[in-house]
Amino acid sequence: MSMNSQGRPSTPVATGSQHDTETVSGSKGLYQFEPLIFETDRWGKTGVDLPKAKGTKSRLGGVERTGKAELPGLSEPETVRHYMRLSQRNYAIDLGLFPLGSCTMKHNPRLNEKMARLPGFADIHPMQPQASVQGALELIDELATWLKTLTGMPAVAMSPKAGAHGELCGMLAIRQALISRGEADTRKRVLVPASAHGTNPATAAQCGFIVDEIGADKRGRVDMDDLRAKLEKTDDVAGIMLTNPNTCGLFETDIKEIADLIHEAGGYFYCDGANFNAIVGRVRPGDLGIDAMHINLHKTFSTPHGGGGPGSGPTVLSEALAPFAPVPFILKDEDGFRLVEEAEEEAKESFGRMASFHGQMGMFVRALSYMLSHGADGLKQVAEDAVLNANYIQAKLKTVMTPAFDGFCMHEALFSDKFTAEGIETIDIAKALIDEGYHPMTMYFPLVVHGAMLIEPTETESKAELDRFCGALESVARRAAQDDDTLKGAPYLAPMKRLDETHAARKPVLKWAPPAPEQLAAE
């Protein structure tokens, strides 16, 4: 059995070894076996005994439950242990490097969490009188000022609840601008690069636009000849949706020319800001000719990601689109801060409302805490370190893996599957990485690269952690190049082995059912 420098197996251990030994309990050392919570139910009771209420009448109007709730009966220790054991099967940024490309899984500083839990921010309610939440409104306004300053844009909509919601905000603002010009019925075409996030064409279609795909050139950037050809007819162009840096981890070097061409054609430039972490403090999107860009607070400003959310996707707008921003938004006058909540007077050109309230207060607090703790120079270093880490990974692995494009990358390193032996696929590398203790990087995306493997380390990771990850991935890559057929069975050391993911996705079992009585009798 070969070992890497951390003393962990870098190749699957042989069947019959101590790792494959079955135990009576189902547990293996500190790894505790844990069935479904319904399978743990053994006694049909609850962990709390409460006397039946006396002298009360039901107010349910005859719709009371007549049967059992069929919830599992567990004691408190059993309940705590169940969820603790499940948590040990979870991969998280607090456990190790999370190399998902295009997702920017970075550390969430605990200082941010402490600030978000302050009573003045955590305990307020969106229906309170505005005079009683002046501090919260001031914080939102200060965060908005930071976002406008960092992007070089004059306006920002704070209410979008996620990145895709921010995209929708930007495209609705573009549509409203076209309506105000009397061109909404004729300008229906939105150009979208082949490497775009899937939400880009979906958002354009949702807003009633027609998506026209632009190809990529050999450098992994927008094919300018294809773009010019698509712009030969200009009177139906509504705009372009472009990510920069793009999903291949590359800066669009022709972005100023792209902006000029779009504006000359009478369209607007929407930029997907998912990768703003790579350029924050270094490049202002407003200087590049961008009209709208959403900002994922979790990707750039360290608010919790995904299930740890909620999300937040403020959208900055150019002078041309600022009048069409959604309500509500904050204004400051002699009486303090106030919310403009109706599409009238100051907001008479607004396209309307996107959400019930003004955004995600907890995410706003966390993001501003991150900005203030870093300062302008610190945010600039964030981008520099994120790009440095990605290039370090690319340089470390390019001798055993195949970079998708020549030259330096930006915030993420992209590899193709050209180095793998016949029969070994990207999915096999992903599964083998699970045995090494890592969540796999983003696989098969972007679609413009065959068998893509997209790695984004962010600025969070130290050189030592990057070396540890590269050592594990290098070992797997060498096995893939040597046609090691044991990769086809990975993972071997995970709680769940290789699954039929296609079958699971198409025919998921979403409800647990107790074994039939005859099955129990047979057992």
pTM, two decimal places: 0.88
CA distance 139 to 136: 5
Give residue 9's pLDDT. Answer: 44
DSSP per-residue string spanning 214-238: E-B-TTSSB-HHHHHHHTSS-TTEE
| Edge-to-edge order in the sheet of strand 210-214 | 155-157, 315-317, 292-294, 268-272, 237-243, 189-193, 210-214
Could you say which DSSP state residue 344 is in? S
Give residue 216's pLDDT. Answer: 93
Please name which of 207, 214, 216 lies closest in space to residue 238, comparing C-alpha atoms: 207
Residues 6+ apart with CB under 8 A from 471: 4, 5, 6
47, 68, 73, 364 from 53: Cα distances, Å: 18, 18, 21, 44
Give residue 438's pLDDT. Answer: 94
Domains assigned to the chain: 111-370 (3.40.640.10), 380-506 (3.90.1150.10)
Give residue 21's pLDDT. Answer: 65
Q: What are the residue ranges in the chain where pLDDT is below 70? A: 1-21, 43-44, 306-309, 517-523
Give residue 39's pLDDT. Answer: 86
Find the helix or strand (DSSP H, E) in which 170 lies.
helix 163-181
R_g (Cα) of the chain, nearest Å: 27
Residues 6+ apart with CB under 8 A from 84: none
CA distance 390 to 447: 20
Give residue 309's pLDDT. Answer: 57
Task: Classify the C-alpha dihedral 102-385-92-22 as positive or negative.
Answer: positive
Q: Is the peptide bond before 51 cis (omega within 30 degrees of 0)?
A: no
Give residue 270's pLDDT. Answer: 98
Q: Please, are residues 209 and 231 in contact by the beta-carbon 8 Å criterion?
A: no
Q: Give, in degrees to the nearest 5, the angle at Cα 356 between 355 and 362.
A: 85
